[in-house]
Amino acid sequence: MDAISKAFKILGLFLETENDLSLTDVSKSIKISSSTAHRIISILIKTGYIEQRKTRGKYYLSTRMLVDLAGIIRKRLHVRTVALPYLNELSHATDEAVIMALRFGEIAFSVEIVNRNRILNLRPDSNSFNLYSTGVGKVFLAYMSEKELKNYFNKIELKPRTPYTVTDPGELKKELEKIRRNGVAFDDQEHELGTRMVASPIMDWEGNVAASVGVLGYSRRISKKRMALLATIVKQHTYQISKAMGYAGQTG
């Protein structure tokens, strides 16, 4: 395996996880020596794709890398072109921010945000989402195969983002079953205090989840009662997008 192939494998490894990785983690996963892993990671750090928390600390995928990927997706992804008019309609109907997200390994990343001014005060990391603590993320988890879901729980530690984050795998699995039945997911201040999200999947012509769409807003505007009302509106719009993508099935 030449240096370029190894570099791409290392980048792929970071894309598949939301956790920081040590040099040992990388060398064992890619099956290369620690010295080779260190040399390639050093190059990736210099080129801005990998960053290190501190000297001799763990490594993580840089924001630049994620932004670059999102830029490519914005230009090339068919679902965004199809979905954008419906996302604008959804934002107008709810007067809230609307996010469309894709999944990269064990994280979700927003590729479109409509009515961004409604969430201007969110933290800088609000463009990427844990799968287990957000509405858009839970959508992806809910439609995973049993094998994929098992691998996810083996890889990811369910760390509390807020006091409301569901960190018990059994409880989360029950919630995922409900999401599959109803076709809608909720984030009730689980990812960030003071915000709530209602999300639903966009299905492609093969019945796979192509993307996830969520209405996101501050809890002072989106009460628990309003979340239930928003669920119907979000599902209606994602179903229209799904039909435009060639989906012939029914909503949950």
Does the predicted model carry a pTM greater than 0.85? no
The pLDDT, as a whole number, for residue 216 is 93
Arch. (CATH architecture) of 66-244? 2-Layer Sandwich (3.30)
CATH number of 3-61: 1.10.10.10
Distance CA 237, CA 23 (A): 44
The SS3 assignment for 232 reads: helix
- Per residue in 59-102, pLDDT (tens digit) is 888 877 777 666 655 555 678 889 999 999 999 999 999 999 98
Token pair 């795998």 is found at 169
The pLDDT, as a whole number, for residue 108 is 86
The number of residues making up the chain comes to 252
Domain residue ranges of the chain, discontinuous segments joined by +:
3-61, 66-244
CB atoms under 10 Å from CB of 65, counted, come to: 19
Write the CA distances from 199 to 87, 96, 111, integer angstroms. 12, 13, 15
The pLDDT, as a whole number, for residue 124 is 39
The pLDDT, as a whole number, for residue 117 is 75
% the chain with pLDDT above 90: 48
The SS3 assignment for 58 reads: coil
Per-residue confidence in pLDDT tens, the chain, 252 aa: 466 678 878 888 887 777 888 888 888 888 888 888 888 888 888 888 888 887 678 888 887 777 766 665 555 567 888 999 999 999 999 999 999 998 887 888 888 889 877 775 555 345 678 899 999 999 999 999 999 999 899 888 899 999 999 999 999 999 999 999 999 999 999 999 999 999 999 998 888 899 999 999 999 999 999 999 999 999 999 999 999 988 888 766
